[in-house]
Amino acid sequence: MSITGRKQISLIIMMIILLQLSACTNLFGSNDQETQLLLQQINVLETQNALLRENQESNSQAPAPPSEGSQPEISMASPAEESLPATPVQAGTPIIYQGWTMTVSQELIVFSDGGYWGITIFVRNMGENSRVFRFTNSGITAKDDLGNIYLPSNPSITSVSGLGSGSCEERYHYVKNLEIRAGEVAEINSGRWGYHNCYLIDGIHMFDGPIPLQASQLIIHFEDFGPYSDIDVIINL
């Protein structure tokens, strides 16, 4: 039997005793003061007994405690979907989209004569399998904060590299399929060792310069460069 039940029985017994004493007092003509004291004690016991009953009923309606093996339910917010940035991104900031990460380097590639300049892009495959990153050289354009537009350079491939033939213009709209293994990073750049990389599968064109001293920013625009479209990346000069 619970402690509450035992208390309730004790109170009932005491109430019965007090009621009997009250009856005896009335029977033998005891004074009114003793009778009033007995009645007050009876009222106190009745109040305590009512409180015990109320407490017992509330405990019986309380939910059962969780079992030892049960786990608390946690509301998990669904992850936000990847989306392309709606505002320009600073160079050096990774842009994550559809399992790819694209980062434009803050450093420019500048040939010694200063007539050409280019950029370096790092593309990482975040998937679990090899994937193909598709792009064209024409998907990248450039301007500065003064409004100057930089055209893609168009040297003869043979004259600057000794490999292949033709010109960068012929490769401007050529679709390149660059395979990147799972977790690996591919470097796509405009030139190496003074050579234009417009013809390479992991290369893009240089831009005609020079860049004026008054310019403080270059804005590199990407369109249909892999899954990236309508993206502006800012390179501070």
Stretch (H or E) spanning 34: helix 32-61
Whether residue 148 has pLDDT greater than 80 = yes
Phi, psi of 235, rounded to the nearest 5 degrees: -110, 115
Rounded to an integer, the average pLDDT of 112-123 is 87
Rounded to an integer, the average pLDDT of 23-32 is 51
What are the boundaries of each domain within the chain?
Answer: 3-60, 89-236
Instruction: Give first-to-last CA distance, the chain, whole Å.
Output: 85
Q: Write the DSSP assignment of 139-198 as a string of letters.
A: GEEEEETTSPEEPBP--BHHHHHSSS-SBGGGGTT--EEEEE-TT-EEEEESEETTEE-T
In sequence order, the 6+-apart residues with CB closer than 8 A to the CB of 73 are none
List, for residues 181-220, the tens digit of each pLDDT value: 999 999 999 987 777 888 899 999 999 988 999 999 999 9
List, for residues 55-67, the tens digit of each pLDDT value: 666 665 555 555 5
CATH number 2.60.40 is the correct assignment for the domain at 89-236: yes
Cα–Cα distance, 130 to 15 (Å, whole number): 87
Average pLDDT, the chain: 78
Confidence band (pLDDT; 50, 70, 90) for 73? very low
**Residue 210 · residue 65 · CB < 8 Å:** no
List, for residues 151-171, the tens digit of each pLDDT value: 998 866 554 444 455 678 888
The proportion of the chain whose per-residue pLDDT surpasses 90, expressed as a percent, equals: 49
